Chain A
Amino acid sequence: MPIGTNLSAGETPEGKSDSHPTAIDWMRTLRDNAALIALLLLILVFWIAAGDRFMSVRNWAYIAQQAPVLIIVAMAQSFLIRAGYVDLSVGSLLGLAAYLAAWGTQTRGLMVGLSLGLVIGVLGGLINGAIIAFARIPSFMVTLGMMVILRGAVQIISGGEAIYLSDESSGIAGYARFDAIGRFPGILIATIPLCAIAWVICNQTVFGDDLKAMGGSERVVGLLGVHVNSRRLSVFALSGFFVGLASMINLARIGAATTMTGTGLELEAISAVVIGGTPLTGGYGSISKTVMGAVALVTLSSGLTIVGIPPSWDDVVRGVLIIAAIGIALDRRKISLVQGDLDESRPEYRHLHQEIRARFFGIENTRLYRDLERREAKIRRLIDANIIGIFIWDFEGRIIEVNNAFLHMLGYDRDDFAAGRMSWMDLTPPEWRDQDARLAQEIEGMGHLPPFEKEFFRRDGSRLPVLMGVETFEGGDDGVAFVLDLTERKRAEQAVREREAKIRRLVDANIIGVFVADLDGHITDANDEFLRIVGYERENLSSGRMHVLDMTPPEWLDRTMQTQEEVKLGKTVQPYEKEYFRKDGSRVPVLVGSTIFDESNLAVPLGVVFVVDMTELKRAEAGARDIERRHREIQMELAHANRVATMGRLTASIAHEVNQPIAATITNAQAALRFLEAQTVHLDEVRQSLNDIVKDGKRAGEVISRVRDLIKKAPPQRDDLEINGAIREVIGLIHTEAAKNGVSMQAELTDGLPIVQGDRVQLQQVVLNLIINAIEAMSVVSEGPRDLLISTGKIESGDVFVRVRDSGPGLAPATLERIFESFYTTKPSGLGLGLSICRSIVEAHGGRVCASANVPRGASFQFTLPAAKRI
């Protein structure tokens, strides 16, 4: 007699039997037998609701085919939960085992494949068990991690590719057929002994007892001498072994292993165990009830389909029923067997769905076509029109009739379909068979289906993605299917996805601003950079307050609206400069380029706009313009000062130069007069004198013409000025020139110099002149450093001096004496005015200028300026 399975517990602490069951006892009984009660209730409900369709052999065969995988995995889970663990990785482990088993079968044959699957299952379990046993991490966390890791491993190993096993090569898939053994699938027959083995392990072995005890108190069991770690490893290995077996069954059922195989199975298995009355806290559990829990789940699923619960409601209804059945709030995730491909709510397909429904299923609602014959006539016309692929099928899955469009899509001849030779399943790739089996049930229950996507095999083995609408003929056991070729659409989708991925990368990089707007200009999405440029918060975006035209200043409205028109026409608008209003009302200069997001696939076409912030660039441009203007002004001022100063200094020269010819002219004129008064007039002498007069007059004219260009201006200004600052400005002006000539220019400006009075521009002209002279002098030196030192300081008298020293060739002693004279120059192209002007300016300021030889070489020019008298 097995011990410990009697949980009805009608016992008081003193051990006396209580013959009157209390409410708590009833609830316990209810909970412990939840699976059985749920199963019976479900069958009853569905029987009443769906009648013969539910109680058909066909439906029970479907359940028998769906249940084995869940039963076996639920038993694997049951071992663990009984021992106080939980394994969230069973789904992923099954996926990995199934994948490697499929690979092994394909490359080395069935036996190798099956062994591989089992070995992977056991290994996976052992790894879980070892981490839990030795690292002392709770099983929930270990297996949660393992769930993700193993799913990733499948992805890595498979590279995203599924493996399909052909019936002939493996012989495994046929085993799963509805009628493999009698009227039942072989996989169900194989599951029964497994259940028996699991029951014996749990209820008849020392190991099973220890597991249950560990679920009660692992610490005590260890304390009392059970090798807990070996039990841990064993139970996880056992569980893994069962998962490996389940992966075989799954492979047989589907004939393929995909990267998604087994997804969500762990939670379904846990649900099955819990429905079977096993609390997640461990220490209890019954294999038979776990099996019934699994069967109940599958029955529920099939029943919901048959009574016409929409697939989107399926999970919700199942969840509510599970909670109600077990009275335990179970954290439940998605248990869907079928992924969301049928979900009409996906916006990108909503149009298409509506279109197809309107075209083909609208007829159902139209009185005109209630009449069967007329309706079939209509369908006949559709078939013959060959606009879309159409075939007629029966509930046995045979394809009875096809139109040319359908043949054309798949590349078959009409003969291939003669006399129902082809079945729906023959044309269907393995991974779609589950969905189709489920849909077949739905259509039997509801008469029609919302359009769904699937794939067909073409004759050449390639795959054809299609959108299908299916409908039964009233009262018959056959129906019609409408098939739309999605190849182009899929390709376009892929292109769009790639393009959108590129755009998404650009958007997320936040290097440039990007926003998406509808064609009216409502901004629907934007990246952080754009929000920064225009100074908005993300909340403004989500509240829908941002509109392109609102953000555009009036003078740019025309251009912007024109751009919108171009985008609407599908053009990509070349980038142009404009401005946006920022949120605070200020303007921001930007460069914008726009294009349409996608033309074909979106319900609402959107424009995407790329925005580059031009603020910095504009500011830099304006800055550059300012500097240039200032430069020019200074140059003009300097030139003017040059002229003014030159005039002052030149007055003496001019007087001297002009005086001399005038004096000579007078002398010559007097001589000529005397010649004319003589008795004998020597005309030659007179002519000579007059020629001299002309020559002298011309010379005076030349001198005057030299100064003609000098323009009068106001006399030099006398301002307080700080000489170092003025010099720094000059250095700033000349810096590039010096660098261009390879001159290293240094300044040693003594701080705290007295203020001097003078004309800033004129004094700057002096310094500039000296520096330029120095640079020019050094530019002829080919060897040695080109050093230029500008220094300021104070001499004993309190006056300020400015000194410019260079390392050029220097000045000859004789030159030193004459160098400040007008029109004296040592330079081939020099005018000989620079230094004389310098001297006149300096002397006009009450200072002195002198030149000397520099040590070790070069020249040194220095001028002094008197300190301003403080009042």
Chain B
Amino acid sequence: MKTFPSTKSDATINVRDGRRRKVVAEAISLSKHFGQIRALQSASFTLSEGEVLAVVGANGAGKSTLLKILAGVYPPDGGTLRVNGEEVTSFSAPESRGRGIEMVYQDLDDVPNMDAVYNLFVGRPIRKWGIFADYKSMIAKTREVLTGLGVATVQDVTQPVETMSGGQRQALAIARAVTWGSGIIILDEPTAALGILETERVLRLIGDLKGKRASILLVTHNLEHVFRVADQILVMYQGRSIAQMQRQDTNLAKLAAAIVSGAH
């Protein structure tokens, strides 16, 4: 078991590989029960700036619960969560967003009957005179963002997203997270609903994001993807985080064994 850094609030510097990296999020023994079900018993991790932390585990290991606590969907029953060095005491989705955490949900969570512009700016529109929507500015910004992320395949940003491909829609969701997230992007199974080409496109996008100083928490079942994009790997087993390790410290076989048996 890896030894976690000091839990003191000023210990926001993680020393690894001889490089000093800022710790942007840190969880200590988070737990969550839903009635009789112990979805999360004790989960701890450290996410450093500019890194991709992959969370792996079998179904029901508590991955999604952990992410949702981070995204403020619901509060934990116990444990501590620090974001940018500050302990989080109040959990809600808007507050989480206020801390710079953006979440991309696994099941293409966009508004299908609305266009890319609306989906990119939902909840944060550019306004004119208070109530009117400034479509001109928003369309221009949308094109700029999509081009900047290399997802220029979306030709008409004013068509409903339900007419776009799954990859385009996931790219749009990630684009939204990148545009608005000031540090941490949570990707919950971003490739689960996608075809091979689409998946490739999204993985490339994740790789690109690292260079943009975004810290990414990635949940996926696909261990190949983990080894392609992750810097750190958190293994979950039956509601517990049993290990957080560096990618180079493990391999596919070991990781698979840890996921299945809970030992490493």
- Using a CB–CB cutoff of 8 Å, the interface residues on chain A facing chain B are 1-4, 6-7, 9, 11-15, 204-210, 212-213, 215-217, 220-221, 223-226, 283-284
Determine the residue in chain A with the shortest Cβ distance to B164: A15
**Does B246 have its Cβ within 8 Å of any Cβ on chain A?**
no
Partner of B109, one of A11, A15, A212, A220: A220
Closest 5 CB pairs of A and B: A225-B123, A216-B113, A283-B113, A213-B111, A11-B163
Indicate if the CB atoms of A223 and B113 lie closer than 8 Å.
no
Give per-residue flags for B109-139: 1 if the beta carbon is below 8 A from chain A beta carbons, else 0: 1111111011000111101000111011001
Indicate if the CB atoms of A221 and B111 lie closer than 8 Å.
yes
Task: Kindly specify which of B18-26, B152-160, B217-225 makes contact with the partner chain.
Answer: B152-160
Partner of B135, one of A1, A12, A14, A225: A1
Q: Which residues of A contact B110 (CB under 8 A)?
A: 217, 220
A6 to B157, CA, bound (A): 12
Indicate if the CB atoms of A226 and B123 lie closer than 8 Å.
yes
Indicate if the CB atoms of B117 and A216 lie closer than 8 Å.
no
Determine the residue in chain B with the shortest Cβ distance to A226: B123
Indicate if the CB atoms of A6 and B159 lie closer than 8 Å.
yes
Q: Which residues of B contact A208 (CB under 8 A)?
A: 133
- Using a CB–CB cutoff of 8 Å, the interface residues on chain B facing chain A are 93-94, 97, 105, 109-115, 117-118, 122-125, 127, 131-133, 135-136, 139, 153-156, 158-160, 163-165, 168, 176
Q: List 6 A-B contacts (CB under 8 A).
A: A3-B158, A204-B133, A213-B111, A215-B113, A217-B111, A217-B113
How many CB-defined contacts (below 8 Å) exist between A and B? 97
Determine the residue in chain B with the shortest Cβ distance to A13: B165
Indicate if the CB atoms of B115 and A3 lie closer than 8 Å.
yes
Q: Which residues of A contact B131 (CB under 8 A)?
A: 205-207
- A595 CB, nearest partner CB in chain B, Å: 68
A212 to B113, CA, bound (A): 8
Indicate if the CB atoms of A15 and B163 lie closer than 8 Å.
yes
- A21 CB, nearest partner CB in chain B, Å: 15
A403 to B45, CA, bound (A): 100
Q: Which residues of A contact B154 (CB under 8 A)?
A: 15
A9 to B156, CA, bound (A): 12
Indicate if the CB atoms of A13 and B163 lie closer than 8 Å.
yes
Indicate if the CB atoms of A3 and B163 lie closer than 8 Å.
no
Partner of B113, one of A1, A2, A213, A224: A213
Given contacts A206-B132, A213-B114, A283-B113, 8 further A-B contacts (CB under 8 A): A1-B135, A4-B115, A15-B156, A206-B125, A216-B112, A217-B109, A225-B122, A226-B122
- B101 CB, nearest partner CB in chain A, Å: 12
- A258 CB, nearest partner CB in chain B, Å: 38
Indicate if the CB atoms of B133 and A209 lie closer than 8 Å.
yes
- B170 CB, nearest partner CB in chain A, Å: 14
Indicate if the CB atoms of B93 and A225 lie closer than 8 Å.
yes
Q: Which residues of A contact B105 (CB under 8 A)?
A: 223
Determine the residue in chain A with the shortest Cβ distance to B124: A225
A206 to B124, CA, bound (A): 10
Q: Which residues of A contact B160 (CB under 8 A)?
A: 4, 7, 9
Indicate if the CB atoms of A225 and B94 lie closer than 8 Å.
yes
Q: Which residues of B contact A4 (CB under 8 A)?
A: 113-115, 118, 158, 160
- A238 CB, nearest partner CB in chain B, Å: 12
- B113 CB, nearest partner CB in chain A, Å: 4
Q: Which residues of B contact A205 (CB under 8 A)?
A: 131-133
Partner of B112, one of A204, A207, A217, A225: A217
Q: Which residues of A contact B132 (CB under 8 A)?
A: 204-206
A565 to B115, CA, bound (A): 83
For B114, B115, B124, which residue has the most chain A Cβ atoms within 10 angstroms?
B114
- A413 CB, nearest partner CB in chain B, Å: 62
Determine the residue in chain A with the shortest Cβ distance to B123: A225
Indicate if the CB atoms of B93 and A284 lie closer than 8 Å.
no
A4 to B136, CA, bound (A): 14
A494 to B240, CA, bound (A): 80
Q: Which residues of A contact B163 (CB under 8 A)?
A: 9, 11-13, 15
Q: A6-B158, A15-B165, A205-B131 are in contact. Are A216 and B93 (CB under 8 A)?
A: no
Indicate if the CB atoms of A223 and B93 lie closer than 8 Å.
yes
A618 to B160, CA, bound (A): 86
- B178 CB, nearest partner CB in chain A, Å: 14
A383 to B127, CA, bound (A): 73
A284 to B154, CA, bound (A): 22
For B93, B111, B153, B176, which residue has the most chain A Cβ atoms within 10 angstroms?
B111
Q: Which residues of A contact B136 (CB under 8 A)?
A: 1
Q: Which residues of B contact A14 (CB under 8 A)?
A: 165
- A3 CB, nearest partner CB in chain B, Å: 5
A4 to B115, CA, bound (A): 6
Q: Which residues of A contact B123 (CB under 8 A)?
A: 221, 224-226
Indicate if the CB atoms of B165 and A2 lie closer than 8 Å.
no
- B93 CB, nearest partner CB in chain A, Å: 7
A283 to B122, CA, bound (A): 15
A14 to B164, CA, bound (A): 6
